[in-house]
Amino acid sequence: MSKPLKTGTEIASTPSSAGMLRRIARRPVIVGTAAFLLVLTALAAAAPLVAPYDPLEQNYAELLLGPSADHLLGTDELGRDTLSRLLYGARVSLLVAFGSVGIAMAIGVPLGLALGYFGGWWDRLGSRAIDVSEALPGILLGFAVIAILGRGLGTLMLAIGLMFCMTFARTTRAVALAEREKVYLDAARVAGLGTPEIMFRQVLPNLAGPLIVQAAMFMGAAAVVESALSFLGLGLETGVPSWGGMLSVAADEQGRQPFLAFPPGLAIIVTVLAFNVLSDGVNDVLAGGRRRPATRRRTHRRPPVAKDVTVKAPAETGTVLDVQGVTVELDTAGDPVPLVQDVWLSIRRAEVVGLVGESGSGKSMLARAVLNLLPPATRLASGSVLLDGRDIAGLPERELRKVRGCGISVVFQDPMTALSPVHTIGRQLCEPLRVHFGMSRSAARERAAELLDRVGVENPKRRLDDYPHQFSGGMAQRVAIAMALAAKPRLLIADEATSALDVTTQGQVLDLLLGLRDELDMAILMITHDLGVVAESCDRAAVMYAGQIVEVGGVRELFDGPRHPYTAALLASDPSAEAEMHRLATIPGGVPLAGEWPPGCHFANRCAFARDTCVEQPVPMTGDVRCLRAKDLTLEVMIGERH
């Protein structure tokens, strides 16, 4: 019967500091429900003063009345006043709610603490015991307790308390286990605190948050169970007003006075709802308000695109992709924040273009803009994306579908998350084939096996029935590539496609990509933070910094004679570092965050060559470089030869 229970994992386990109360106070829902419950408790406590009638007073002249001025909620089958009984009934409900949760905590928390703290065999045995106890529906446990001890308020509390105590034990155990690992416990032990002291002083405060959340929720659940048991006649004696007992009468008299079912029923619902909302609210606060994931993909509608840039014809024939003046903005409460600003980039047939930059430079956002896969709350504010001369930005879903896969394809960084873990790779690989070529199941399978074979997966036919987790990282990335290639795209975007792989595998995958480029006559946009990759595989490269492309050029020219100070700095840092670069060793500072970009040159604050003019106004792309001083400077790569 303990129905609306969340599993322990859903509950935030990070209690926070003194600010919690303040954060709670800021939430009208929590304040409102807490106030409601307080008022309810006060009304229940003051029932003898507030209730208009004695709840037991029978009045045979006024049986089964509907609501009236004398009896605001009518009367029952013995002429007793429903409102008065409702108020007295609240006493039972609340008393049982508080009492049973109190008992549940008194049993469950110490048990959980002990299991979590001692660990080992204690824990294993205890956890098994908890499992066993969970083989029973709560109400059955209630039945057993009532059968043993007989009816009564105490029994009711104990019965419901026993239903819930194991969940408290489970939660407590989880928190205690986590805390046990923490250093400060060791420190406390060293400091000479006894074991019980450690458990209660150190672990308990960390438990407070989750326990409050769970307690509030269970109080609601307890009110429901109490009403169910009273409804069945297993609660208090007949006649003692309780909400469940009133519903039992309502059921008997339904044919004569249907209204009877509503006051107690709604009272239960509202009370339980209040407990649940309170629990959810406190949990939200504890989780820092992050319960609802902010990253929700907007489903259908594309954000509107402001076409304030005149679309130009592709500069030359043979251009596959032409990005023209693309600006991506993040919608916020205030002004929109640009994430990518006025990017122009074109890629020719079978050309491999690198897009390099530090994390946060906006290169992946640009790729997503090209793919029409912008995350929620971001939108293409202006610009066009021309694929083979056709603007695909803002195309309706149906049209986009035709472009995706066979026009543009993508390979993401982590192949393990880029493939659905619960579907065979054969099934996923067949999708683009069936969608774009309308292949039959068997034909698609055939072709999928060929594709796998082509990307270097051994035993392709058999492996079609494997799941992603059965592949190594490199192999899985090959599968992802095969999937991206399935519909023979004109352009492949490799978004950090090799970053997660070890060096040897990385080389193999790069070779594979280049081989495929030749074979399929396919252009590749290679997004990477790794200059080594660019040097190894690209024809041209574009360097991005803080949302802007700062320099474009042939790889050789770029590496040999960078014209933007940032390019030079990038080349000077250790480019083949495994991890993403977070700061450039050679220059102070870091990439400014989106929204904090200066109006002038974005790099100016870190640039050794900056002048006053650099910061005054936006710097346009001049030729292939975005630097006012490009012509004055001769930059050298200070750290020697590149491999």
Partner 1 sequence: MRKLIAYRLVLAVPQLAAVSLLVFSLTYLVPGSPAAAILGASATPERIKEVEAQLGLDRPALERLGDWFWNLLGGDLGISYALSLPVTDLLMERMPATLSLTFGGMVVSLVIGIGLGVLAGVRSGLPDRIVGAATSVGLAIPEFWFGLVLSLLFAIELGWVPVVAYTPVTEDPSAWLRGLILPSLALGIGTAAMIARQTRTAMVQALASPYIDTLTAAGVPRRRIVLRYALKNTMVPVLATAGFSFRILLGSSFVVETVFAFPGVGGLLLTSVVGKDFPVIQGGVLLIACIVITLNLLIDVGYGLLDPKVRPQ
Partner 2 sequence: MKTQAGKTRTTKKPIIAALAAATLVLAGCSGGSGGGSGSGAASDALSVNWGGFPDSWAPGAEMEAGYMRVPYENLVALDAQGKVTPVLATKWEQTGKALTLELRKDVFFHDGTPFNAEAVKVNLETVQKSKGPFAGPLKVIKSIDVVDDHTVRLNLSEPTPSLLTTLSTRATPMASPKAIAAGTVAQHPVGTGPWAYDPKSSSKGTRMAFKFYPKYWGGSQSVGFKTIELYAIPDDTAASGALARGEIDITDTEVAQQSRLKGTPGVKTLSYPAIRNNPMFFDRGPGGVFEDVNVRRAACYALDTQALAKVEPDFKPRTQHFSEGESGYNPAIPGYKHDLARARQLYEQAGSPPVKATVLAAPFTEKQNQVYAAQLAEIGMEVKVQVAPPPQFFSTWNSGKYALGLGSNDELTAYDWYKAWFAADAPGNPSGAESEELKRAADVAIKAGTSPKAAELWGQVTRIISDEALTCGHVAGDELIAWQSKRVDGVTAPSQPWEAHMVDYKNLRPKGE
Name the residue with tokens 């076409």.
307
Of 327, 345, 321, residue with least CA distance to 543? 345
* Interacting positions 290-309 with partner 1 (CB under 8 A): 293, 295-300
Does 153 engage in binding with partner 2 (CB under 8 A)? Answer: no
Task: For Cα atoms 472, 473, 477, give the angle at the middle one, nearest 5 degrees.
Answer: 115
Does 638 engage in binding with partner 1 (CB under 8 A)? Answer: no
CA distance 330 to 328: 7
Q: Residue 349: which residues within 8 A CB-CB, separation 6 or more? A: 318, 319, 320, 490, 521, 523
- In the sheet that holds 540-545, the strands lie side by side as 408-411, 491-495, 523-528, 352-356, 540-545, 548-554
Partner that binds at residue 146, options partner 1, partner 2, none, CB closer than 5 to 8 Å by kind: partner 1
Which residue among 10, 70, 237, 502 contacts partner 2 (CB under 8 A)?
237
Does 93 engage in binding with partner 2 (CB under 8 A)? Answer: no
For partner 2, which stretch binds (CB under 8 A), given 76-84, 334-342, 363-371, 436-444? Answer: 76-84
Which residue among 15, 116, 354, 432 contacts partner 1 (CB under 8 A)?
432
Does 78 engage in binding with partner 2 (CB under 8 A)? Answer: yes
Does 420 engage in binding with partner 1 (CB under 8 A)? Answer: yes
Which residue among 2, 498, 506, 528 contacts partner 1 (CB under 8 A)?
2
Does 233 engage in binding with partner 1 (CB under 8 A)? Answer: yes
Which residue among 224, 355, 452, 512 contacts partner 1 (CB under 8 A)?
224
Long-range contacts of 594-600 (CB under 8 A, 24+ apart): 594/330, 594/337, 594/338, 594/339, 594/360, 594/362, 594/546, 594/547, 595/337, 597/338, 597/341, 597/546, 597/547
CB of 315 to partner 1, least distance (A): 26
Residue 150 or 288: the one with the smaller Cβ distance to partner 2 is 150
Partner that binds at residue 171, options partner 1, partner 2, none, CB closer than 5 to 8 Å by kind: none
Does 621 engage in binding with partner 2 (CB under 8 A)? Answer: no
CB of 92 to partner 2, least distance (A): 16
* Paired tokens of 612: 């006053």
**Sequence letter at residue 343:** V
Does 262 engage in binding with partner 2 (CB under 8 A)? Answer: no
Partner that binds at residue 63, options partner 1, partner 2, none, CB closer than 5 to 8 Å by kind: partner 2
- What sections of 395-502 are H helices per DSSP? 397-403, 415-418, 425-437, 441-454, 460-463, 473-485
* Interacting positions 462-481 with partner 1 (CB under 8 A): 467, 469-470, 480
Does 136 engage in binding with partner 1 (CB under 8 A)? Answer: yes
For partner 1, which stretch binds (CB under 8 A), given 401-409, 580-588, 592-600, 601-609? Answer: 401-409
Other C-beta atoms closer than 10 Å to the C-beta of 480 total: 28
**Sequence letter at residue 210:** P
Does 412 engage in binding with partner 1 (CB under 8 A)? Answer: yes
Does 586 engage in binding with partner 2 (CB under 8 A)? Answer: no
CB of 137 to partner 1, least distance (A): 3
For partner 2, which stretch binds (CB under 8 A), given 77-85, 89-97, 354-362, 630-638? Answer: 77-85
The answer to whether the CB of 81 falls within 8 A of the CB of 75 is yes
- What sections of 325-385 are H helices per DSSP? 363-371
Of 419, 485, 413, residue with least CA distance to 448? 485
* Interacting positions 34-73 with partner 2 (CB under 8 A): 56, 58, 60-61, 63
* Paired tokens of 117: 């703290």
Element housing 32 (H / E):
helix 28-45
CA distance 169 to 175: 10
* Paired tokens of 592: 């400014």
Residue 5 or 615: the one with the smaller Cβ distance to partner 1 is 5
Partner that binds at residue 56, options partner 1, partner 2, none, CB closer than 5 to 8 Å by kind: partner 2
For partner 2, which stretch binds (CB under 8 A), given 39-47, 249-257, 327-335, 398-406? Answer: 249-257
Partner that binds at residue 60, options partner 2, partner 1, none, CB closer than 5 to 8 Å by kind: partner 2
CA distance 540 to 542: 7
Does 232 engage in binding with partner 2 (CB under 8 A)? Answer: yes
Binding site for partner 2 (CB under 8 A): 56, 58, 60-61, 63, 77-79, 151, 232-233, 237-239, 248, 251-252, 254-256
